[in-house]
Structure 1
């Protein structure tokens, strides 16, 4: 009897892990190989992405900060350049990210589930376009490399956290 219960538990656990794997995907790393690594993987536990702060000039993405739920991540990259702050609407998510890079991240464009296109940075570089691998998944968190600029970015996709309070 104990053996049957253990076998049933293992099957349920394997199925739950399979569901998680099938709903997560990753794009990147887009950009150069220099800089210190950063990851917002722990920040996603605070809730969905609700706002984005970008520091940019006409050539580069300089700094990046993301609000998860009601909590801002640490700023990565530099602190000069023009600061833009974009708040997402309740229930709105990032569903596509494109941009340009060459040694440094030069442009970022976030497309949201409400059809908004949020564009930052310059015009030159190698183009990339990142979308989640699985349907109905959204941008959950960002990772990458940074110096005084954002040198590279990675995009992590997953299910929208339905149990979080979206502010």
Structure 2
């Protein structure tokens, strides 16, 4: 009885912290979180028939491993200093087909072609930003994708105020 209760609680929808978008199925992947750097870029590879094959994140100046399958035409979007991904829109059929990233600096970049069922994703707390991805992949590409949200590692830099010291000449 206790085992049944435990399994019921673990598999209930309230236990899933993050949602995956798409049909799913296949091999699971999950990006590692970089505790020293925020995401500074995203690279997506798309097949000739419009399937998103893989996704790669850039933390600081280093690219993560490739999540998905190799091949396809890669496109990348590099973030500016103090720029964070705060929302995404996408679509899928059997495979992920479209992904648009939105940033706090009101920039956006799209990968692929909108086709199939659409989804919109943003964090529950507006102070959180994209920190990672997870999902599933099969032979041709990504079948499902989810997004990890957390607070930025680096606090946004405030502009340095101009110096208020004055140069004065000493009198003779």
Q: TM-score range by the shorter chain?
A: 0.7 to 0.9
Q: 2:109 corresponds to which residue?
A: 118
Q: 2:153 aligns with which of 135, 142, 161?
A: 161
How far did residue 35 of structure 1 move? 1.6
Displacement of 1:111: 0.4
What's 1:36 paired with?
A: 27
Q: What's the CA shift string for 1:63-104, capped at 9, x where partnerless? A: 111111232211122222211121100110000011001221
Query: Higher helix share goes to which structure?
Result: 1
- How many corresponding residue pairs? 139
Distance 2:113 2:92 in 1: 10
Q: Distance in 1 between matches of 2:128 and 2:69?
A: 30
- Which structure is larger by alpha-carbon Rg, 1 or 2? 2
Q: TM-score, normalised by structure 1?
A: 0.76
5+ residue gaps, structure 1, are: 1-24
Query: Is 1:144 the counterpart of 2:135 in the alignment?
Result: yes
CA RMSD of aligned residues (A): 2.0
- Unmatched segments (≥5 aa) in structure 2: 1-15, 157-172
1:47 equivalent in alignment to 2:21 = no
Say yes or no: does 1:66 pair with 2:57.
yes
Cα shift at 1:28: 2.4
Runs of 4+ in 1 over 3 A off after TM superposition: none
Question: How big is the shift at 1:146?
Answer: 1.5
